[in-house]
Chain A
Amino acid sequence: MLESFRGGKVARWFKGRSMWLLHFCTGCGAIELPPSMTSRYDLERFGIIPMASPRQADVLLITGYLSVKTLKRVITTYEQMLDPKYVIGFGSCTINGGMYWDSYATINKLDYYLPVDVYISGCMPAPDAIFAAFLELREKIEKGEANGYKLYKIHYERYKANQDKVFKNRGIIEGED
């Protein structure tokens, strides 16, 4: 009974009303987050607040391009988050490489490595677009369509193979035993 309540409509409604995002500035998109979180736009009106630790967060924002060095940390972070968890891809760079499509250091397509629930276009997406993305994500959560975290488990082999392709030394994050 508890299990069915967890995935049920009421629980999903609460999840959509309280999306905690992880404070991780992965790329330049992070510059539009402070304006949307502080007084001028105020994301907190929708119960969206930044969290310091991945254990507490529900939404992982990939704010723009990801260098391979960051991608390694992002995946570790993503795997540390508790289910259900959602990923929002910010701007062109996460969709098809954006400005850095021919750079040797940044990945081009985020969904090879992580399941993405919602993409926003733009380079920078304006705060309104960020709001639109969050509201879209809320709608998807309420409908039960934001299943990225389930897909990650189902297609884990594929994601892992893609990740291994870009990491030359997987798992060795400096200082981690």
Chain B
Amino acid sequence: MVEGVVELIKGNFSDVEIVIPEHQEKRVHISVEKEKVKEIAKFLKDNGFRHLSFITCVDWIDEGKFELVYGLYSYEEKIVVLIKTKIDRDNPKQETLLPLWDQAQTYEREIHEMFGVYFDGNPGLTPFILEDWEGIPPMRKDFDSRKYSQITYDSEAK
């Protein structure tokens, strides 16, 4: 049950903000400091949340922050927990989750490529989907895809 998970987290971590979203069943959103992510992920993994659904990133350009979102799922409780943390946009660094889940590699590589976030301790942040990409990572809000497309693909070379 959702309440049980909330109790469990509250009992072990003090400065964690927990939101149970409206209209959405079986979802718990928690916001933590970026240093605490690994600790809380490990705790949740030991408590049944063994499936890492996804890691993603939201670019809050007005605040100057990147928000990393980790989705964990428990096959026993059947609840999705989203761990959210905000990191500095100018110096985007975050500890890797590789020691906990091997497959975090895929998601971290993608975020590194699309947003330019560095994951400390992840050795394999090589180009993933794009090839020979130069300039700002394309998923950042200040990258204008429409303009880039017009310049690059809508005219012939001279």
Contact = CB atoms under 8 A, between A and B. Distances in A.
The reply to whether A and B meet directly (CB within 8 Å) is yes
Interface of A: 68-69, 72, 97, 101-109, 112, 158, 161-162, 164-169, 174
Contacts of B154: 108-109
B75 interface: no
A104 B149 contact: yes
B157 A164 contact: yes
B130 interface: yes
A161 B157 CA distance: 6
A153 to B, nearest CB: 18
Interface residues of B, number: 17
Contacts of A97: 149, 153
Nearest to B145: A104
Given A68-B131, A69-B130, A168-B134, A101 B149 contact: yes
A102 B145 contact: yes
B62 interface: no
Contacts of B132: 167-169
Contacts of A107: 153
A108 B153 CA distance: 6
Interface of B: 130-132, 134, 138, 143, 145-146, 148-150, 152-154, 156-158
Contact of A102 (B134, B138, B149): B149
Contacts of A106: 153
A109 to B, nearest CB: 7
A110 B21 CA distance: 46
A162 B146 contact: no
A112 B156 contact: yes
28 contacts: A69-B130, A97-B153, A101-B149, A102-B145, A102-B146, A102-B150, A103-B145, A103-B149, A104-B152, A107-B153, A108-B149, A108-B153, A108-B154, A109-B154, A158-B156, A158-B157, A161-B156, A161-B157, A161-B158, A162-B157, A164-B157, A165-B156, A165-B157, A166-B152, A167-B132, A168-B132, A168-B134, A169-B131
A162 B156 contact: yes
Nearest to B133: A168
Nearest to B154: A108
The 5 closest A-B CB pairs, nearest first, are: A161-B157, A168-B132, A102-B146, A165-B157, A108-B153
A105 B143 CA distance: 13
Contact of A109 (B131, B146, B153): B153
B136 to A, nearest CB: 11
B140 to A, nearest CB: 12
Given A161-B157, A164-B157, A69 B131 contact: yes
